[in-house]
Amino acid sequence: MDLGMCLDSDVPRTFTLRQKLRYRFDNTLSKGIWGVLGWLGALAIAFIVVVALFLRLTGVGPGEESTTFQEGVWIALTRSLDAGTFTGDEGVPFRLATLTVTIVGIFLAAAIIGLVSSAIDTRVESLRRGRSQVIERGHTLIVGRNDKLSSVIKELVEANLSEKNRAIVVLTPDDVVEVADDLCSEIPDMKTSRLVVRSGNPTRISDLEQGNPAEAKSVIILRQEDGSDAQVVKTALAIARCLPEGSSAPIVAELEDQDTADALADAIGGRLLTITSSEVIARIGAQVARSPGLGGIYEEFLDFEGDELYVIDVSPAWVGQTYGQALLASSTATIIGLRNSEGTFVGPDTRMVLQAGDRLIAIAEDDSKFSLDSSPQAWDPTDSRAWEPLARPRERTLLIGWSPLAPMIAQEIDVHVAPDSEIHLLVDVPREALDAIVTAMTLHNQTLTIHPGSPINRADVTAVLARGPYDHVLLLSEKESFSASDADARTMLALLHVRNYLSAHGTTENIVAELVDPNDVELTAPAENSDFIVSQRLIGLLLAQLSESPDLAPVFRELFDSTGAVIAMHPVERYVAPGPTTFRAIIEAARDWGVTPIGVRCASSGGPSGVLGGGIRLNPAKDEPLMLGEDDSVVVISA
């Protein structure tokens, strides 16, 4: 074959009539079932017409009279549709003709039935694959899938209890049937909510529009476990394109890198709320390690059960009063902060004056029970005592395992401990990697000691614990070196070694363990009130909370920022004498010190309704009698 002939555009190619008809026929078939049905219908009509003409021209019929064309059409049609019609026919020629019509009709009917059945199966399979349009309004759209998905949905179900038939829509690239089955097994009771699952590419606008983000109440973007922040960035930008201009629906996105989160927020604007999961986990882990029971407080703030955080406008009666006076403004809620034109302040200066348009932040059982129902009482801010910070103790901390969170946790602890404190690290890394670890640990108040060894080797764990006692023991997930399942298994095994050693030696160090999979938390029930498991479930709670209450984003930013407000346990005698007292008396004394009390920790408490782990009670009634001993504490927020 001459290649030049193929490239010669001056020589038009001609096609035969057969090729043209075949091309048209193929194009019609490619349009799907309707094209095929059209051809079958045309074939059936042509066959009926041919049979009718044959009967008319040959004179063959059911009787002695010749058959007309119209009668021939009717005979051919009825014999095609009903195979039993020809049994009463008479005459060999007529019987042969009608038998032929019946046989052809059977094949045509079988073909049509097969096509319709196949089309129905295809449609059902398409629906099961979740490619249809969502027509919900006011729903929560979750884009992506990871281990936090079930935690997020569980919290949204609790948040929707006051509303009926609220939809939670999940858009994921994974198989819809698999996702729906997994979620139904983990969340068997959706209560007043409905679950809708759709399949699609989270970075493709046409797929995202299946979830109807334009009419969603909020959008949550989950980071793929094996993905990167790039996928979240693309998804967030695509969601922003789908939302109409002026939409108030918040976009809550989970990322790993803070610089990426800041850049994305600048690009999309205030509607985007970002969560840097690694920094949040590191800060919570460090704070919980130093203050047993603090983990329960964070969970109480984040979940939708028990007390929650609410915001209320400052009423005219409180305009011109101080924040210290406002601490007693509600009989059913505990004020913890203030929002004004300058920003959000958690545990601010108690001398700050309330202005019109300001809003108060409080812990309350329900927003319907949160009101400023008390009258302003006189309080002279000039009587405030000079703040005398509690002496920072020298502490010994043990980290078992290595993860990127280790430097952040160590630096967070470093801010709150006295000079000459110690931090010990049990790691199983090559010798050449030790210098990199030392470089990553930028510490000022702590001395770093590295103990080479395996976190799952009982002898290695026992040897490093024997160098104690330690004030805090943190077990980090080695998720960078192992799969999530293997990393959690190693952490749980190390936790067993630690608990067995401490139990055998009668010591009660505060233990904090990090797990990747929230479902594994149930396998490691805390042995003591001082134990706490930090998992990605906390990030799931935060994602759900911000999607429902985006105005609380600055509050959580203050609580989880290393330079923000600090929740601490102060000795009771700092504010009131041990013995019988009330929360009102504690507030009146604490505001003179410039701190915001939010609850008490009573060592004798343990289990009653309203009591968190470690005997912590948040938002107690102002005038409820309290019996506090010398070992008890006041839970405060200080800037």
Q: Which two tokens stand for residue 353?
A: 């004056």
pLDDT (tens digit per residue) in 568-577: 889 999 999 9
Query: Which helix (H) or strand (E) covers residue 406, if one does?
Result: helix 405-416
The amino acid at residue 354 is L
DSSP state of 348: -
My answer on whether 150 and 119 are in the same domain is no
- How does DSSP classify residue 366? -
Same domain, 116 and 146: no
- Of residues 95 and 12, the one with the higher pLDDT is 95
Given 270, 299, 334, the domain boundary residue is 270
> Side chain identity at 489, as an amino acid letter?
A
> Does one domain contain both 83 and 145?
no
What sign results for the dihedral spanned by CA atoms 90, 95, 97, 100? Answer: positive
Residue 12: what pLDDT?
64
Residue 4: pLDDT above 60?
no
Domain-located, residue 581: no
Residue 368's pLDDT is what? 81
Q: Are residues 175 and 46 in the same domain?
A: no
In a domain, 195, yes or no: yes
Residue 458 lies in a domain: yes
Q: Are residues 91 and 149 in the same domain?
A: no
Q: How far is the C-alpha of 287 from the C-alpha of 474, rounded, in Å?
A: 11
CATH number of the domain within which 78 lies: 1.10.287.70
User: Is the domain of 529 the same as that of 401?
Assistant: yes
The string over 480-514, giving b where at least 16 C-beta atoms fall within 10 Å of a residue's C-beta and e elsewhere, is eeeebeebbbbbbebbebbbebbeeeeeebbbbbb
Is residue 284 a part of any domain in this protein? no
Residue 168 shares a structural domain with residue 249: yes
| Total domain count, the chain | 3
235: domain CATH number? 3.40.50.720
Q: Is residue 637 part of a domain?
A: no
- The per-residue pLDDT for range 530-539, each reduced to its tens digit, is 678 888 889 9
* 238 belongs to a structural domain: yes
Residues 418 and 499 in one domain: yes
Q: How confident is the model at residue 123 (pLDDT cuts 50, 70, 90)?
A: confident
How would you classify the pairing of strands 616-618 and 596-601?
antiparallel
Domain that holds residue 23: 17-128
Q: Are residues 407 and 529 in the same domain?
A: yes
**In this structure, what token pair is assigned to residue 244?**
């109409």
Do 113 and 148 lie in a common domain?
no
Q: Which one of 476, 511, 535 terminates a domain?
A: 535
Is 307 inside a domain boundary?
no
Both 57 and 161 in a single domain? no
- Chosen domain end from 128, 161, 192: 128
312 occurs within a structural domain: no
d(CA 480, CA 23): 57
Instruction: Check if the beta carbon of residue 292 is closer than 8 Å to that of residue 614.
Output: yes
Contacts of 573 (CB under 8 A, 6+ apart): 630
**Measured at the alpha carbon of residue 132, what is the angle toward residues 127 and 138, in degrees to the nearest 5?**
125
21 and 59 in a single domain? The answer is yes
Q: Which two tokens stand for residue 411?
A: 């630096």
**Which pLDDT tens digit goes with each residue over 167-192?**
999 999 998 889 999 999 999 999 99
